[in-house]
C-alpha cells in the first residue's frame, strides 16, 4: 500500500542536526546543513538519486499535513509515487524529512514487505529552495480505501490477510520505537 508514512519519532535512529553559524545566518545555515544531511543519508544507505519526476496529468495520489503524493508511470511494469513538500520548507519540515528519510532507509525497515519501499530521492527547485522529493514504490492496487471499494465483496480471509499485513508493518515500526502518525480506513 503506497501511502505517506508520517512518523512520530522517539527513536535513537534519529538525531536532529543543529544549525551552525551566527544567529543572522542560522536559518540559511540550517537549510544548507539539512540538504547536506539528506545527501549524506542517501549516500550512507546507497540510496539512488534519480532524475525522475511526476506527471501532473496523472493527478495526486494523496495529500497530508507534510506533503502531497504525485505519480508517474515509467512503463507498463514500473510506476512510482513522489512525496513532495506542500509548502516551502521550514526548519521543522526539514527535520521531519530527515527523520522520515532515516526511517525509510533503515536496513530492517527498508526490506520489510509490509512497509512502503523508498526507491530513490529526487530534488525539486521551487523559488530559491532545493527541496527533496522521496521516490516511493506505487502500490499496484492503490491505497486501502481504493482497494476495498473495488473489492467490496472480498472474502473474510482476504480482509483478515489485509489486517494481518497492516499489523505486521505497524509491529515492525513499533519494534524500533516508531509509531505511524496517520492511519485511516
What DSSP string runs through 137-168?
E--TT-SHHHHHHHTTT--HHHHHHHHHHHHH
The predicted model scores a pTM of 0.73
Task: Give dist(CA 65, CA 122) in Å, integer.
Answer: 20
Q: How many of the other CB atoms lie within 10 Å of CB of 171?
A: 11
Does residue 1 have a pLDDT over 60?
no
| Whole-number pLDDT of residue 184 | 58
Q: For residues 183 and 6, what is the distance between their CA atoms, to the nearest angstrom?
A: 9
List Cα–Cα distances, 124 to 66, 131, 141, in angstroms: 16, 5, 27
The per-residue pLDDT for 131 is 84
How far is 101 from 98, CA to CA, in rounded Å? 5
pLDDT above 90 for 121? yes
Who wins on pLDDT, 178 or 59?
178
To the nearest whole percent, how much of the chain has pLDDT over 70?
A: 71
7-180 CATH, one of 1.10.510.10, 3.40.225.10, 1.10.300.10, 3.40.1190.10: 1.10.510.10
Span 119-135, average pLDDT:
87
Contact 55, 72 (CB under 8 A): yes
Q: Give the C-alpha separation, 3 to 5, whole Å.
A: 6
pLDDT score at 41: 92
Amino acid at each position: 500500500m503506497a501511502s505517506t508514512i508520517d512518523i512520530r519519532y522517539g527513536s535513537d535512529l534519529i538525531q536532529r542536526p543543529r544549525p551552525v553559524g551566527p544567529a543572522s545566518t542560522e536559518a540559511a545555515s540550517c537549510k544548507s546543513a539539512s540538504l547536506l544531511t539528506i545527501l549524506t543519508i542517501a549516500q550512507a544507505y546507497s540510496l539512488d538519486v534519480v532524475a525522475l519526476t511526476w506527471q501532473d496529468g496523472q493527478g495526486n495520489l494523496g495529500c497530508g499535513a507534510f506533503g502531497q503524493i504525485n505519480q508517474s508511470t515509467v512503463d507498463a511494469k514500473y510506476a512510482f509515487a513522489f512525496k513532495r513538500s506542500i509548502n516551502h520548507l521550514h526548519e521543522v519540515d526539514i527535520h521531519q524529512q530527515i527523520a522520515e528519510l532515516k526511517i525509510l532507509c533503515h536496513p530492517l525497515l527498508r526490506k520489510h514487505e509490509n512497509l512502503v519501499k523508498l526507491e530513490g530521492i529526487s530534488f525539486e527547485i521551487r523559488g530559491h529552495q532545493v527541496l527533496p522529493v522521496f521516490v516511493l514504490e506505487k502500490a499496484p492496487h492503490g491505497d486501502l480505501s481504493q482497494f476495498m471499494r473495488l473489492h467490496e465483496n472480498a472474502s473474510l480471509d482476504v480482509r483478515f490477510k489485509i489486517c494481518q499485513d497492516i499489523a505486521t508493518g505497524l509491529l515492525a515500526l513499533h519494534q524500533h520505537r516508531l509509531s505511524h502518525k496517520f492511519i485511516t480506513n
